[in-house]
Amino acid sequence: MARLDQIPAHYTARLRGLLFDLDDTLLDEGKLLPEALDALYRLKQAGFELHAVTGRPAGWGAVLAHQWPVDGALTENGAIYLKKEARRVTLEDPLSAEERQQRRAELEAVVSELRRRFPSLVPADDTWQRLSDFTFDIGEYQRVPKQEVFQVRKAARELGANTLASSVHLHITLDRADKASGSARCLSARYGIDPFQVLLSYAFIGDSENDAACFAAFRLTLGVKNQSGRPTLPPRFLCQAERAHGFVEAANLLLARRRDAG
């Protein structure tokens, strides 16, 4: 991974916007620091499109899309998009209400079996706000050994489910979206641009294993210093600071590059 100041000029010359993870990237131990929020406002004022891309639930996405200076929030690891236009926020799900209800019932059966096999697992606090997945706490308030997480993921796959792990949560879902495919789908549909162009026109910043798809797909990928998990590909460029301070570091570089470009 290279330093931020080694990012080629043509990578930043025509950026439409920045996609960013929440936990341990924008947020610092779950908190939104004033300097991180200020960085979002400065990026927005400079003309960057801003989209949160997170494993957090649709319920979170609706709130932050209403209150933060962002254009949207892609939640539940790419499954559910909250689109902000003017003051209105709308929820976009690729499944119909009937399809989502049926898939939810199937997911609950998988989760019930996992909880039977692994009774020590604790659901995440935000599970009740979710539409497409069920989430266990493996690092937010509980500390689940990596070997147990591995065993749970193996069992979930045997039951037909997909799994993703972040620095705080283990996600169980029957959806096949990830952060990269969800971003390409939603932004292509919203702005009428080719999905491949999405991968060239937006930068992504994150920190953990469930960001791996974005690290692999986007041309300009940034990582805050506190990298966690074992992503297939790491980000191409690494901040010198951790969490929110790393996010601010990256924002300052993008803003400086835009000022230099006039």
Does residue 86 share a domain with residue 14? yes
Does residue 17 share a domain with residue 139? no
Does residue 205 share a domain with residue 151? no
Does residue 240 share a domain with residue 133? no
Does residue 191 share a domain with residue 81? yes
Residue 161: strand, helix, or coil: coil
Does residue 211 share a domain with residue 133? no
Does residue 190 share a domain with residue 230? yes
- Among 173, 206, 230, which residue terminates a domain? 173
Residue 65 token pair: 């899309």
Does residue 161 share a domain with residue 187? no
Question: Residues of 41-58 as b/e, b for ≥16 C-beta within 10 angstroms?
Answer: ebbbeeebbbbbbbbbbb
The domain in which residue 86 lies consists of: 2-91+178-260
Report, in this order, helix, strand and coil percent for the chain, each rounded to 5. Answer: 45, 20, 35
pTM value is 0.95
| pLDDT, tens digit, 9 for 90 and up, residues 163-202 | 999 889 999 999 999 999 999 999 999 999 999 999 999 9
Does residue 182 share a domain with residue 58? yes
- Among 148, 173, 198, which residue terminates a domain? 173
Task: Read off the CATH number of the domain in which 124 is found.
Answer: 3.90.1070.10
Q: How far is 215 from 220, CA to CA, in rounded Å?
A: 8
- Among 152, 173, 194, which residue terminates a domain? 173
Number of H helices, E strands in the chain: 9, 12
**To 5 degrees, how large is the angle CA 176–CA 182–CA 185?**
115
Query: Which residues lie closer than 8 Å to 101 by C-beta, 6 or more apart?
Result: none
Task: Read off the CATH number of the domain in which 44 is found.
Answer: 3.40.50.1000
Compute mean pLDDT per 10 residues along the chain, 262 residues long, and list them: 96 97 95 98 98 97 98 98 96 98 98 98 97 97 95 98 94 97 98 97 94 96 88 89 98 97 81
Does residue 254 share a domain with residue 183? yes
Does residue 47 share a domain with residue 161? no
pLDDT of residue 227: 87
Residue 105 token pair: 């019932």
Does residue 161 share a domain with residue 44? no
| pLDDT, tens digit, 9 for 90 and up, residues 241-253 | 999 999 999 999 9
How far out from the chain centre does Cα 229 lie? 15
Number of domains in the chain: 2
pLDDT of residue 231: 64
